[in-house]
Amino acid sequence: MRAVRGWVPGLRFRFVLLVSVLFLTLTAVMIVVASYLDLRDEENRIIEHARSVGATMSRLAVPHLNNHHYLILEQELESIAGSGIVDLAQVYDPNRDIIVDSDPLISYFDDIQLDPLILAAVASGSEKSRITQLEVTMAFPVRAGDATDVLGAALVSVPRPAAVGVVWAIWQRNATIALVLLGFCIPIALHAGSSFLRPIKSLTQTAHSVSAGNFDAPFPVDRKDEIGVLARAYRDMVARIRENLEQIHRLAFTDSVTGLPNREHFRQHFLKQADLSADKDRKLAVLFIDLDRFKRVNDSYGHEYGDTLLKEIGERFEDAAGVSRLDQATTYSGYGGVEDFVGGADISTVARLGGDEYAILFAVDDVRRDVAAVAERLVKSVERPCEVNGLALTVGASIGVAVFPSDGMDYTAILKNADIAMYAAKRAGGNSLRFYQDVESSIQVRDRLLVETDLRRALLQDEITVYYQPKIDCCTTGIVGVEALARWKHPTNGLLTPADFIDVAEETGLILPLGETVLRLACQQGRIWFDEGCGIPLAVNVSVRELEQPNFTARVLKVIEETGFPADQLELEVTETVAMADPEGLQNTIHPLREAGVRFAIDDFGTGYSSLAYLQRLPFDTFKIDRSFISGLGVEDSNRLIVQTILAMAQSLNFDVVAEGVETLEQHSILREIGCATAQGYLFGAPMAADMFAIWRAGFSCTFCMPGSCVTEPVEIANPISAA
């Protein structure tokens, strides 16, 4: 059946096939019924023929039996039998016990065996018959003229045609009629099927177009039938999805305070321009700007004054950089993210990265000259006092510059190097400009080489360990999972977090043994907890370098098998940026792990660009909302709206949701109120060693979880992290 379904090309063919099968079935039934009726008619015709001949013979025999003219009667019977219609004709005279036969070789003087039907007809005075496969035999009484006395009996035998021949002739006739009708039926069915299925085909094509990202595809909403109702409902659903996507991407790419592009928008814009610049041998300058003395404004007058000042400074930076708000809007398209630029378009953009930090990107020919000219205008723009609610506020600007590609080949390196140059400008007294290439970057290089050397030694000497941060049910505040996080017990620098060594591990390829080490340690500990009767689902982060390895799946399955940790209790976390970089390749890589029961989560959701069509097809189970959105809950309404939109999208796609970075009771309360199921953050517990986690878990379970009720306020408990 599956093979047949796979072979059938479409609804139109299936419709015609259905009509043809129904027609053929009905035709076969019709032929069977018609053949049966025709066969019965043929049998009745033979019986009637035999009856007609017999009745004629009985009338002809009356005068001959009365006058005993047997010779004349014999000649008449031979004439009847000679026509070929009758096999046998006999007349019986009971008075003289004489049988007159139609066979010329037999005389009425011969001793002929009397057929029982003749005796029955004479005795009863009524018609008698016998029907066999080969013939129909009938006997009729011969009565005198007054129709009272029975003079004798007449017997006639008529041959029956073979049933097979009759049936075959009937079937040939009816089959010919059916084929002729089928020849008319199929074209009519094809035409009717095309007309009937055309709107369904149109709706299907529209659905494919929408799933590919074309939300403006037309729907056949002008129809009044069920298809029109379905099309209108689908159109309204797509419109709501588009509005939600536009809203979430607008909020995700725009800074809510200044209206400028935010950090993610700036990152995507840089990546696209870097790709174009690589082909055109063009240089890009990134200016990292931090406002001097801004903290005093916030501390003295409050965040309302500070936000107003940030907005004013952002507008001045746009003017100084020669970027209009309309120009920046053209670099962003609602739900599609940052669009490609065509040659000759102005690529300059001004973004607020967060706090009092801004970034500017523009193309340069002469680096020193072009950057110095822009930086001078920027510094002068902030030197003018800004009037905020009647107060004249003044700040400065420390500017660091990194140039692509000479100061770095990727976004992370460029922004980090521009940040280093900015801090050099601050150390020089602020309100000044520094180029990264002028900063003592050789110190950084030596530091990174030292980290690489120490990390190689750490992997050999088992200095890598795993800390565990719990995931909490927002309603019951029960523990529902734990995330495994790498830590490095450095012999001289103490406990190091991934921020201190993960970049070096990625660049040098050490991330591969590091990732396998963390996975193995986490699964070993998870198995220990299961053996102790307190098993818990475990989440482990996976890097893009690991996913690119052809043996990644085999290594994960090997670790699961060797440690004995249940595969269905393991969840691997992949960042949204990695997931969207190569969705098809990612799907092929993780499919065997999904088959084994391993779950997958999109980490840092909301910071990258996710296509709805890809999200529907990617085999993920969980969204992890980035902490940048959670930190703004209770502060900015836009963050709450973003989280609500992500929750609605996750629910429609049947994803679980985990909120990262929950640090306050207010954030926890808002998450519970808007329906977020799971949270993770320092409010509940920081990452901790396995032994400390066991102590914390016991205390947390005793004081935090209240069976049968929903805890409204988290209970303050002693945090064992400080003892770790």
> Which residue pairs from 74-80 have beta carbons closer than 8 angstroms and sit at least 24 positions apart in sequence?
74/100, 74/101, 74/102, 74/107, 74/108, 77/101, 77/102, 78/102, 78/103, 78/104, 80/53, 80/56
Per the structure block, which two tokens stand in for 206?
């529209």
> Which residue pairs from 128-134 have beta carbons closer than 8 angstroms and sit at least 24 positions apart in sequence?
129/47, 129/50, 131/43, 131/47, 131/160, 132/160, 133/160, 133/163, 134/159, 134/160
What pLDDT shows up at residue 253? Answer: 83
Residue 149 sits in a domain whose CATH number is: 3.30.450.20
Same domain? 410 vs 455: no
Contact present, 352 and 260 (Cβ < 8 Å): yes
Same domain? 257 vs 365: yes
Q: Is 382 helix (H, G, I), strand (E, B) or coil?
A: helix
Same domain? 425 vs 534: no
Same domain? 374 vs 506: no
Angstrom distance (rounded) from CA 428 to CA 426: 5
Angstrom distance (rounded) from CA 114 to CA 562: 101
Q: Which helix (H) or strand (E) holds 211?
A: helix 163-211
Taken in order 429, 435, 438, 441, the sign of the CA dihedral is positive
Residue 280 sits in a domain whose CATH number is: 3.30.70.270
Residue 507 sits in a domain whose CATH number is: 3.20.20.450
What pLDDT shows up at residue 350? Answer: 92
What one-character DSSP code corresponds to residue 717? -
Among candidates 345, 439, 346, 429, which has minimal Cα distance to 401? 439
Per the structure block, which two tokens stand in for 549?
């390895």
Which amino acid, residue 180? Answer: V
Same domain? 371 vs 475: no
Number of domains in the chain: 3
Contact present, 117 and 128 (Cβ < 8 Å): yes
What pLDDT shows up at residue 333? Answer: 44
Angstrom distance (rounded) from CA 10 to CA 17: 11
What one-character DSSP code corresponds to residue 681? S
Phi, psi of 403 (to 5 degrees): -115, 130
What pLDDT shows up at residue 601? Answer: 87
Angstrom distance (rounded) from CA 218 to CA 221: 9
Residue 225 lies in a domain: no
Contact present, 433 and 375 (Cβ < 8 Å): yes
Neighbours of 52 (CB within 10 A): 12
Contact present, 654 and 618 (Cβ < 8 Å): no
Which amino acid, residue 159? Answer: P
Residue 674 lies in a domain: yes
* R_g (Cα) of the chain, nearest Å: 48
Residue 604 lies in a domain: yes
Same domain? 415 vs 493: no
Which amino acid, residue 464? Answer: I
* CA 244 to each of CA 6, 228, 260, 332, 648: distance values in angstroms, whole numbers, following the listed order: 36, 24, 21, 16, 9
Same domain? 468 vs 598: yes
Contact present, 208 and 226 (Cβ < 8 Å): no
Among 96, 131, 165, the domain-final residue is 165
**E strand residue ranges, 205-322:** 283-292
Q: Which helix (H) or strand (E) holds 361?
A: strand 357-364
Angstrom distance (rounded) from CA 557 to CA 598: 9
Q: What angle do CA 341, 615, 635 make, to 5 degrees?
A: 80
Residue 188 lies in a domain: no
Among 131, 165, 199, the domain-final residue is 165
Enumerate residue ranges in the chain where pLDDT < 50: 1, 3-8, 330-345, 442, 702-724
**Residues forming a β-bridge with 362:** 285
Among candidates 569, 444, 454, 426, which has minimal Cα distance to 510? 454
Residue 97 lies in a domain: yes
Angstrom distance (rounded) from CA 622 to CA 573: 9
Kindly give the interhelix angle for 11-67 and 70-82, rounded to the nearest 10 degrees: 160
Its pTM stands at: 0.43
Same domain? 332 vs 403: yes
Query: What's the order of all strands across the beta sheet hosting 396-404?
Result: 349-354, 357-364, 283-292, 396-404, 433-435
Chain centroid offset of residue 144 CA = 95
Same domain? 513 vs 476: yes
Contact present, 247 and 359 (Cβ < 8 Å): no
Angstrom distance (rounded) from CA 92 to CA 98: 6
Number of residues that make up the chain: 724
Contact present, 353 and 273 (Cβ < 8 Å): no
What pLDDT shows up at residue 420? Answer: 84
What pLDDT shows up at residue 549? Answer: 83
Virtual torsion, Cα 39, 42, 43, 47, nearest 10 deg? 170
Angstrom distance (rounded) from CA 696 to CA 699: 5
The domain of 101 spans 13-165
For residue 668, give every residue at least 6 positions away whose Cβ sits within 8 Å of its Cβ, in sequence order, or none.
474, 662, 679, 683, 714
Same domain? 483 vs 614: yes
Which amino acid, residue 570? Answer: L
Number of H helices, E strands in the chain: 24, 23
**E strand residue ranges, 144-278:** 150-159
Q: What angle do CA 443, 444, 448 make, to 5 degrees?
A: 120
Same domain? 411 vs 543: no
Spell out a b/e string for 204-220, using b for 16 or more CB atoms within 10 Å of the CB, else e: eebeeebbeeebebebb
Residue 299 lies in a domain: yes
Contact present, 417 and 404 (Cβ < 8 Å): no
Neighbours of 74 (CB within 10 A): 21
Contact present, 93 and 65 (Cβ < 8 Å): yes
Among 165, 196, 218, the domain-final residue is 165
Residue 183 lies in a domain: no
Angstrom distance (rounded) from CA 510 to CA 518: 12
274 Rama class: left (phi>0) / alpha (psi -120 to 50) / beta = alpha
Same domain? 119 vs 146: yes
Determine the straight-line distance between the first and last CA of the chain, rounded to whole angstroms.
Answer: 62
Contact present, 540 and 519 (Cβ < 8 Å): yes
Residue 1 lies in a domain: no
Q: Which helix (H) or strand (E) holds 332?
A: strand 332-333
